[in-house]
A and B are shown apart, each in its own frame.
Chain A
Amino acid sequence: MNELLEFIENNLQITYILILAIFVGIEVIKSIPAVLHTPLMSGANALSGVVIVGAILVMLHADPTDYIALSLGFVAVVLGVLNVVGGFAVTDRMLQMFKRKK
């Protein structure tokens, strides 16, 4: 409990951003037509690939001789990019179909 209070004390801004972002996420998603549930889930999935930024940071910070860190970072970047590129491309393909008619 003390650690939690200490964390909030030391990271007040982050705590605020965290809470506000939760509400933004809820508001942005609210009242979405069921038609768009699948593309939305897919788009949100692509966004979660933002973890790639962390994977790149791991590699940038790594010592060029630290092969373990480099190889773990390498795999993390590959997987993260897969999530991002695949996610956005699939979402785009799904939405392409909605656009054609009319």
Chain B
Amino acid sequence: MGILLNIIYLIATVTFIVGLKMLGHPETAKKGNLIAAAGMGLAIVGTIFVHEQQVSPIIYILIGAAILIGSIIGWLIAIKVEMTKMPELVSLFNGFGGASAALIGLVEYGKNVNNATQSTTIVSGIIIGAITFSGSLIAWGKLNGTLKSVVRIPYYNIINNLVIIAIVIFAAFMVASGVDSQLLLYVLLATGLIYGILFVLPIGGADMPVVISLLNSLTGIAAAITGILYNNMVMLVGGILVGSAGIILTVAMCKAMNRTLGSVIFGAFGGATATEGENKALGSIKSTNPSDAAIMMNYANNVVIVPGYGLAVAQAQHVIHELEQMLTKKGVNVKYAIHPVAGRMPGHMNVLLAESNVEYNMLVEMEDINPQFSNTDIVLVVGANDVVNPAAHNNPASPIYGMPILDVENAKHIIVNKRGMNAGYAGIENELFYNSKTSMLFGDAKAALTDLVAELKNM
């Protein structure tokens, strides 16, 4: 029996590696996901049934019920949620995984107090699981708008560091003393939860994708730690895979924003406080209407569309595809410029535009499109803000200074669709809107684009 379970785990581990690898290529990604899912199913079924222990039927019933409940809820959330809500959903699911790891630690601690190695892994599992759980929930709340503002406690850096040092010392004391106290264990859990909140709360909204990726990686590490505890290879390798892949993704995202991981975690970003009072005479803004905008686009040769989070919020991915098809029919050369961190997650815009069947080769990445803006007649910015903010080039005081952006200001004319004059997600003013070449097309993205399409139809 033992060898059978180990072979099952071995197969599952291989499916994880192969699945993750296949997820990295557009043609094989879907199959890769299914392969990894099948391996996970195999590991779960094997764990439940392939062992020699005497287990009372009531426990089997409880396990079955728990799996049924989790599957139904998970499935329903996954198929019901709108595509635009994807990033926060990943964060939420990630938090559940972390919570699961923490709960396992709570149960196992009492049985392992006399073994320093085991209790070290358990205590670390509880802390990391708790941090990912509360941190992911905060990230989820921030992304779906429940938690609006950037909360910054004075000296939060110092406080946060003191808290984590205190947690480590406390945990070390628990391991060293081998004290079997449920009270202390729950205090440890609580401090982990508090740190998760303190850790994510001061981080600006624009950095949230990086945080989710980091928390995702931490959940993997928590799973791996639990794997060490049970000497269970599928958990160990699966967890480490997620851990290291998550770190690589996190670093890739930071690079796309020209920031270091340290500055995301410790630096001030999206701090409205830092930029307030700077909104001095930026000039006047010029607004336009759908009819004028349609005329301009109708007579343009090259149009580049820059989609942003506003497009996702307004669910305007289908109507923008319609606009693009209509312009193409009229002989206009249309492309989409995709900033790596447009939206709330890298690749967010790609997913969204793929949903409305936009041709893959019409999406152009930042490095390739930037030299083309000087030959572009019209740039249509739909619900994007920080990724086209020239302050990243010319204002060293700006929190986004140094971030690579789409150089839309090089185009002959820029039309910006926005709901109002609110600052972007990073909470900073955008001088692009005051540029003499810029016209503002105010309104909800879906409504404004629908009007544009209607106007174009009549031409």
Chain A positions near chain B (C-beta within 8 angstroms): 3, 6-7, 10-11, 14, 17-18, 21-26, 28-62, 64, 68-70, 72-101
Write the nearest CB–CB distance from B58 to chain A, whole angstroms.
6
Which of B69-77, B385-393, B410-418, B433-441 is the contact stretch?
B69-77
Given known contacts A41-B249, A87-B93, A36 and B26 CB-to-CB distance under 8 angstroms: yes
Bound CA–CA A88/B245 (angstroms): 17
Write the nearest CB–CB distance from A85 to chain B, whole angstroms.
4
Question: Does the CB pair A93–B78 fall under 8 Å?
Answer: yes
Type the 1/0 row for B168-203, where 1 means its CB is closer than 8 Å to any CB of A: 000000000000000000000000000000000000
Residues of A within 8 A of B48 (CB): 56, 60
Write the nearest CB–CB distance from B169 to chain A, whole angstroms.
16
Given known contacts A39-B23, A39-B29, A78-B70, A83 and B63 CB-to-CB distance under 8 angstroms: no
Bound CA–CA A34/B348 (angstroms): 9
Bound CA–CA A92/B104 (angstroms): 28
Question: Does the CB pair B93–A82 fall under 8 Å?
Answer: yes
Question: Does the CB pair B219–A58 fall under 8 Å?
Answer: no
Smallest CB-CB A-B distances: 3 pairs? A81-B70, A25-B244, A86-B74
Question: Does the CB pair A38–B103 fall under 8 Å?
Answer: no
Q: Which listed residue, A73, A86, A91, touches B103 by the CB 8 Å rule? A: A73
Question: Does the CB pair A48–B216 fall under 8 Å?
Answer: yes
Question: Does the CB pair A69–B107 fall under 8 Å?
Answer: yes
Write the nearest CB–CB distance from B219 to chain A, whole angstroms.
4
Q: Which listed residue, A29, A43, A73, touches B248 by the CB 8 Å rule? A: A29
Residues of A within 8 A of B256 (CB): 34
Which of under 10, 10 to 19, 20 to 34, or 35 or more describes the interface residues of B?
A: 35 or more
Write the nearest CB–CB distance from B389 to chain A, whole angstroms.
20
Given known contacts A35-B26, A92-B30, A24 and B241 CB-to-CB distance under 8 angstroms: yes
Bound CA–CA A92/B38 (angstroms): 13
Residues of A within 8 A of B65 (CB): 74
Chain A: which residue is nearest B175 at the CB level? A3
Write the nearest CB–CB distance from A63 to chain B, whole angstroms.
9
Bound CA–CA A75/B66 (angstroms): 7
Question: Does the CB pair A90–B93 fall under 8 Å?
Answer: yes
Bound CA–CA A39/B3 (angstroms): 34
Bound CA–CA A97/B244 (angstroms): 27
Question: Does the CB pair A79–B107 fall under 8 Å?
Answer: no
Residues of A within 8 A of B233 (CB): 17
Question: Does the CB pair A36–B24 fall under 8 Å?
Answer: yes
B34 within 8 A of A: yes
Given known contacts A77-B70, A90-B78, A101-B357, A72 and B107 CB-to-CB distance under 8 angstroms: yes
Question: Does the CB pair A92–B34 fall under 8 Å?
Answer: yes
Write the nearest CB–CB distance from B246 to chain A, whole angstroms.
6
Question: Does the CB pair B357–A100 fall under 8 Å?
Answer: yes
Could you give 19 example pairs across A and B, Cβ below 8 Å?
A26-B244, A29-B24, A32-B252, A34-B365, A37-B253, A40-B245, A45-B93, A46-B33, A47-B36, A49-B96, A51-B97, A55-B103, A69-B107, A74-B62, A77-B66, A85-B70, A86-B78, A90-B93, A91-B23
Residues of A within 8 A of B21 (CB): 28
Residues of B within 8 A of A3 (CB): 116-117, 120
Residues of A within 8 A of B87 (CB): 38
Residues of B within 8 A of A98 (CB): 26, 29-30, 351, 354
Write the nearest CB–CB distance from A99 to chain B, whole angstroms.
6
Chain B: which residue is nearest A77 at the CB level? B66
Q: Which listed residue, B30, B108, B117, B220, touches A95 by the CB 8 Å rule? A: B30
Question: Does the CB pair A53–B44 fall under 8 Å?
Answer: yes
Given known contacts A43-B19, A90-B81, A34 and B53 CB-to-CB distance under 8 angstroms: no
Chain B: which residue is nearest A83 at the CB level? B97
Question: Does the CB pair A72–B106 fall under 8 Å?
Answer: yes
Write the nearest CB–CB distance from A30 to chain B, whole angstroms.
7
Which of B147-155, B221-229, B283-291, B376-384 is the contact stretch?
B221-229
Given known contacts A21-B241, A60-B51, A76-B103, A48 and B66 CB-to-CB distance under 8 angstroms: no
Question: Does the CB pair B219–A48 fall under 8 Å?
Answer: yes
Write the nearest CB–CB distance from A51 to chain B, whole angstroms.
4
Question: Does the CB pair A82–B90 fall under 8 Å?
Answer: no
Type the 1/0 row for B411-430, where 1 means its CB is closer than 8 Å to any CB of A: 00000000000000000000
Q: Which listed residue, B216, B232, B236, B354, touches A18 by the CB 8 Å rule? A: B236
Given known contacts A83-B94, A89-B74, A43 and B53 CB-to-CB distance under 8 angstroms: no
Q: Which listed residue, B24, B69, B231, B242, touches A48 by the CB 8 Å rule? A: B242
Residues of B within 8 A of A52 (CB): 44, 100
Given known contacts A38-B86, A76-B103, A82 and B70 CB-to-CB distance under 8 angstroms: yes
Question: Does the CB pair B249–A60 fall under 8 Å?
Answer: no
Bound CA–CA A84/B70 (angstroms): 9
